[in-house]
Chain A
Amino acid sequence: MIKIGVKFCGNCNPDIDTKKLFLNLRNGLKESIEFVYWEQDAYEILLVLNGCNVACAEHPIFMGTSIIIAGETLDYVSIIEEDLLLEIERKIEKLK
């Protein structure tokens, strides 16, 4: 099972609900993906969830592939909040 490390920004003034997004993502992919705390385990993909496009979350040193959510963007491409879940799932599927 592939592992994805998860890191949140501090959520001081979020445009999107990153907690809800993450919980839905984890629930939808629980059969094929193990989500782990960014600081503890080794993982293949790093998912950084920023609440807005300032994207101020500090990134841990990571040599693998990262997926960056920053408000209504996925890897800097604009996507409305309602579609983010699906687009992240597609991205993960491609990277598997």
Chain B
Amino acid sequence: MKTGQEYIESLKDLKTEVYFETAKIEPLVGHPLLQPHINAAAVTYDFAHDPLYEDLATTTSHLTGKKINRFTHIHQNKDDLVKKVKLLRLIAQQTGSCFQRCVGFDALNAVYSTTFDMDQKLGTDYHKRLVDYLLYVQENDLMIAGAMTDPKGDRGLGPSEQADPDLFVRIVEKNDKGIIIRGAKAHMTGMVNSHEMLIMPTGAMKDADKDYAVACAIPVDAPGIIHIFGRQTNDKRKFDEMDQGNTKYGIVGGECLTVLEDVFVPWNRVFMCGEYEFAGSLVERFATLHRQNYGGCKAGVSDVVTGATAAIAEYNGAAKASHIKDKLVEMIHLTETLYCCSIACSQEGGKLASGAYYPNALLGNVVKQNVTRYIYEIDRICQDIAGGFIATLPSEKDFNDEKLGGYIKKYFAGKADYPTEHRYRMARLIENMTGGTALVESMHGAGSPQAQRIMLLRSGNLLHKVKLAQKLAGITTDNLVK
């Protein structure tokens, strides 16, 4: 297993091509725009070596019997599913940010079980290829970017119906050595500081979409790949210290647009190639596995926001007010509700044909649906208690200026027991964690709210509920609602 430092060193060996505001970012490691995200991902490596956290951060490979980083594991029982959620909460508490590595973790699990099903039905050898790849990932403790979301163009049209055929990643050529793919993947969390990406289709597909039904693994620095780094709220503050809020770990996952311009993939790294009838199943499994996470990581982030709220109330001199306590209770209630749901969907998970374990899809989608609402409410309460100064504070440069700093320290002071700098720093952390990009991630990460509602209707067993009502209403069983 790699340490955090070994992970960072390994990134220096890559030739990943990343651009921001027209310029190529070189080197990636150490660059202020990227380093916070690298630091957050490095925690997933360091915790595997820390006796205090290893019980969650490591496990035993079902393939080799060796101790491995949990982020490279295939869930073998319900305990694995539960420990995943606990691990995510733990790391989010320590980083207050997205540590990115769950996406590839979920992609590996989704492709593992789907390739098994494909081989059973079609006689293909995709699962063996995936297992060989997984061994490579575990042995080298690699960080994998899960790459699902296509740009999608006209949302009313399918992949093969778009005016531009590249708006979903597609196979443009097959030869005896492998395939060549073209297109792009959007909102790619952790991509620029991963070793590899695991490409998956973005939705259910039809016969006409065969060329778009593709799953494969590619190094992030393979020829033909460029990454265009996304903007974040206040991202130029990454060049400051206090004004960043979360100086070491930043916010969310350092997302990018990954462009795949005729990228070659050898056959041993291809896990789906035209089998469109399995695209929907793969997407559903990845989505459920990823939505399961959000009551873990977002609970951990909310633990920090709740702590920041209690602290700023104290700095403001308002901590003893009864409405403050009541609002803090509400934040705890909402946070633990998110966590409950992630634990529940893990405990109610089950075994798939491949032997891998999978969370309960209905409850997993409830987790994420709740996140699209509760995080906004948690953050709203936090901003309510913190006060408007989190949005109007002067800059760090002015705070430290010989002439201006004195005024800022004087007029932004709170309770006399604490230095103004503590109030300033906590305000910046709150501004960072409760606004802009961080909030949007809660809405759309792991799928937009409507995607979960479709799954809720599909998994909600509505007919069973109708039958229950009809029985109690005394309606005869030969006249059931269909």
Q: What is A's interface to B at a CB cutoff of 8 Å?
A: 6-13, 18-19, 37, 56-58
Q: Is B145 interfacial (CB-CB < 8 Å)?
A: no
Question: In the complex, are the beta carbons of B56 and A12 less than 8 A apart?
Answer: yes
Sample (15) of A-B pairs whose CB atoms are under 8 Å apart: A9-B55, A10-B53, A10-B57, A11-B52, A11-B56, A12-B86, A13-B86, A13-B89, A13-B93, A18-B52, A19-B52, A56-B55, A56-B83, A56-B86, A58-B55
Question: In the complex, are the beta carbons of A11 and B90 less than 8 A apart?
Answer: yes
Cα separation A37 to B53 with both chains bound (whole Å): 13
Cα separation A12 to B90 with both chains bound (whole Å): 4
Chain A contacts of B53 at CB under 8 A? 8, 10-11
Cα separation A13 to B300 with both chains bound (whole Å): 9
Question: In the complex, are the beta carbons of A6 and B51 less than 8 A apart?
Answer: yes
Chain B contacts of A8 at CB under 8 A? 51-55
Cα separation A73 to B51 with both chains bound (whole Å): 21
Question: In the complex, are the beta carbons of A10 and B56 less than 8 A apart?
Answer: yes
Chain A contacts of B90 at CB under 8 A? 10-13
Cα separation A8 to B15 with both chains bound (whole Å): 39
Chain A contact residues: helix, strand, loop or mixed: loop
Chain B contacts of A18 at CB under 8 A? 52
Q: Output the nearest chain B residue to A18 by Cβ-Cβ distance.
A: B52
Q: Is B199 interfacial (CB-CB < 8 Å)?
A: no
Cα separation A91 to B168 with both chains bound (whole Å): 64
Q: Output the nearest chain B residue to A37 by Cβ-Cβ distance.
A: B51
Question: In the complex, are the beta carbons of A10 and B83 less than 8 A apart?
Answer: yes
Q: Output the nearest chain A residue to B343 by Cβ-Cβ distance.
A: A54
With A10-B55, A10-B90 known, 6 other A-B pairs at CB within 8 A are A9-B55, A10-B57, A12-B87, A12-B89, A12-B93, A18-B52
Question: In the complex, are the beta carbons of A10 and B51 less than 8 A apart?
Answer: no
Question: In the complex, are the beta carbons of A57 and B55 less than 8 A apart?
Answer: yes
How distant is A9 from chain B, measured CB to nearest CB, in Å? 5
How distant is B302 from chain A, measured CB to nearest CB, in Å? 12
Chain B contacts of A12 at CB under 8 A? 56, 86-87, 89-90, 93, 300
Cα separation A10 to B303 with both chains bound (whole Å): 17
Cα separation A57 to B57 with both chains bound (whole Å): 12
Chain B contacts of A6 at CB under 8 A? 51
How distant is B99 from chain A, measured CB to nearest CB, in Å? 14
Question: In the complex, are the beta carbons of B55 and A7 less than 8 A apart?
Answer: yes
Cα separation A7 to B54 with both chains bound (whole Å): 9
Q: Output the nearest chain A residue to B300 by Cβ-Cβ distance.
A: A12
How distant is B81 from chain A, measured CB to nearest CB, in Å? 13
Chain B contacts of A13 at CB under 8 A? 86, 89-90, 93, 303
Chain A contacts of B57 at CB under 8 A? 10
Binary contact readout B42-79 vs A (1 if CB under 8 angstroms, 0 otherwise):
00000000011111110000000000000000000000
Cα separation A57 to B86 with both chains bound (whole Å): 12
Cα separation A57 to B52 with both chains bound (whole Å): 11
Cα separation A35 to B87 with both chains bound (whole Å): 26
| A10, A11, A13, A58: residue with the most chain B Cβ atoms closer than 10 Å | A10
Sorted from nearest, which 10 A-B pairs have the closest CB atoms? A10-B56, A12-B90, A12-B86, A10-B55, A12-B89, A8-B52, A57-B55, A9-B55, A10-B53, A8-B51
Binary contact readout B113-142 vs A (1 if CB under 8 angstroms, 0 otherwise):
000000000000000000000000000000
How distant is A92 from chain B, measured CB to nearest CB, in Å? 19
How distant is B156 from chain A, measured CB to nearest CB, in Å? 43
Cα separation A75 to B94 with both chains bound (whole Å): 29
| A8, A12, A13: residue with the most chain B Cβ atoms closer than 10 Å | A12
Cα separation A58 to B21 with both chains bound (whole Å): 48
Chain B contacts of A10 at CB under 8 A? 53-57, 83, 86-87, 90
Binary contact readout B447-470 vs A (1 if CB under 8 angstroms, 0 otherwise):
000000000000000000000000
Chain B contacts of A58 at CB under 8 A? 55
How distant is A41 from chain B, measured CB to nearest CB, in Å? 14
How distant is A56 from chain B, measured CB to nearest CB, in Å? 7
How distant is A69 from chain B, measured CB to nearest CB, in Å? 14
Cα separation A11 to B93 with both chains bound (whole Å): 11
Chain A contacts of B303 at CB under 8 A? 13
Chain B contacts of A37 at CB under 8 A? 51
Cα separation A56 to B53 with both chains bound (whole Å): 12
Q: Output the nearest chain B residue to A48 by Cβ-Cβ distance.
A: B55
Cα separation A6 to B51 with both chains bound (whole Å): 9
Q: Output the nearest chain A residue to B89 by Cβ-Cβ distance.
A: A12
